[in-house]
Amino acid sequence: MRATSGPKRWPASAVCACPCGKTEVSAGYWCASLLIDGTASAGVRLEVDVAGRIARVQRGVAAEAADIRLGTVMPGFGNAHSHAFHRALRGQTHGEDGDFWLWRERMFRVAAQLDPSRYQALATAVFAEMLVSGYTAVGEFHYVHHRPSGEPYETEHAMELALAAAARQVGIRLLLLDTVYLQGSIGRDLAPEQRAFGDGSAAGWLTRWQSLRSQLARDELVTLGAALHSVRAVPPDAMRELLHGLPPEVPLHIHLSEQPQENEDCLAAYGLTPTGLLHTVGALSPRLSVVHATHVRDDDRKLLGDAGVTVVMCPTTEADLGDGIGPALALASAGTPIALGSDQNAVIDPFLEMRGLEMGERLASQKRGRFAPAELLTGASTGGYAALGLGRHRLQPGDPCDLVEISTTSVRTIGSVPEQLALTATASDVVRVVVGGRLVAECGQLVGGAWPATLMADALDRLST
């Protein structure tokens, strides 16, 4: 039976000052059913320390009087690839003919309208929708750094700090993937609509990145990563300079082989595929996450797998833009961990991304059960957190207490065994969300009382899409 008690708030606990070696407990959550590594366990109690991490896991126990009682619970989902401002195009472009490149023209027009205030409002609404949908962390692939003219704002890092403020306001973990974007395409200068993205040179970007890192160094929810936009936007010499200048522990992301044209242009310019080029400059390593990898060759897959590179698949976006079905199973078989992302945010629903990954494989192979439900959950949670540099996320002691409670009594989920909810639930079935041991969302609403739709209406009123 699913627990029905409402959310409880708890007083801040004083940290134990004696030399007893015990972990001071701040809160306790009792889960009627908890999925750990894709397997449901009944009656699981999680003790949470004052840092918001799991201090103790007890299975098959009754709830204690002060516990917050939850029903069926999963680890929080990590959205490994997002462009928050693309959300402004939801419902505006889906009926159009054309392809990715035509859609991109509309996207540039939205980017040109952004300023720090508008961007913060839009990102707040998008992050709020993510949170109530079950995402507890997001990697924001951010490249709109400056004014449309390319001139910086008076306030240093104004756009980046707007995104950080949005994440803090909502209560979601944010890896800000500050993105290098130096040329419009291979061998060509930035087009006028791309000037807001550029920093002039790899050295210019590194200087700005280091300054931003110092500002975000003590942030509890927001961490700074890095991204190379693509092999189209960053030439090889600049890649080498950036790889040398970035600390080795910083997560690094890049769009890779999303479109056949990217492969063709890269082969024509360098005699290498995009993956081959990344290998040549020394970019392939376990800290790298490549996004999409829709059109990689067999030799590319081997390079990625041998290097332990994560592949971030974005099934709803890849379908909406007509990109193609990526070889997810072949990549996983080659040794690449799989993570999932919402990308253009035309859809914000971790369950639909999981479902899209599996259904794409079924359509391509004409066989069922290509990814087990537990593997889908791993990609959406553990895989996403790893790609975001957030460490282990398996609901074990020391892991962050980031949880999502799922209704098992909705018209979609009634009758589902917990292990198969990844293939039946949707974001509408998310009941409560916990980040860092604190309840942050309940039944589609932020704990502070805000509704994502209201936030989004306000943000869109400031834009002309």
- Chain Cα centroid distance, residue 125: 15
Catalytic residue among 157, 292, 295, 393: 292
Is 253 a known active-site residue?
no
CB 227 within 8 A of CB 251: no
Torsion angle, CA of 25/30/35/39, rounded to 10 degrees?
110
CB 399 within 8 A of CB 392: yes
Separation of alpha carbons 219 and 221, rounded Å = 6
Q: Which of 372, 319, 326 is nearest to 342 (CA)?
A: 319
Q: At what angle do helices 236-245 and 202-216 cross, to 10 degrees?
A: 30
Separation of alpha carbons 446 and 345, rounded Å = 19
Residue type, 182: L
Q: Which pair of tokens denotes residue 22?
A: 């015990």
Separation of alpha carbons 327 and 74, rounded Å = 27
Match 């540039």 to its residue by tokens.
108
- Chain Cα centroid distance, residue 259: 21
Strand pairing of 252-256 and 222-228? parallel
> What sign does the dihedral 406-408-411-414 (CA atoms) show?
positive
Match 């359509």 to its residue by tokens.
363
CB 371 within 8 A of CB 382: no
Catalytic residue among 49, 67, 320, 343: 343
CB 29 within 8 A of CB 46: yes
> What sign does the dihedral 313-318-323-327 (CA atoms) show?
positive
Q: How many helices (H) and strands (E) does the chain have?
A: 14, 16
Distances (CA, A) of 416 to 33, 75, 412: 13, 18, 9
Q: Which pair of tokens denotes residue 372?
A: 């087990």
Is 343 a known active-site residue?
yes
Give the catalytic positions in this structure: 292, 343
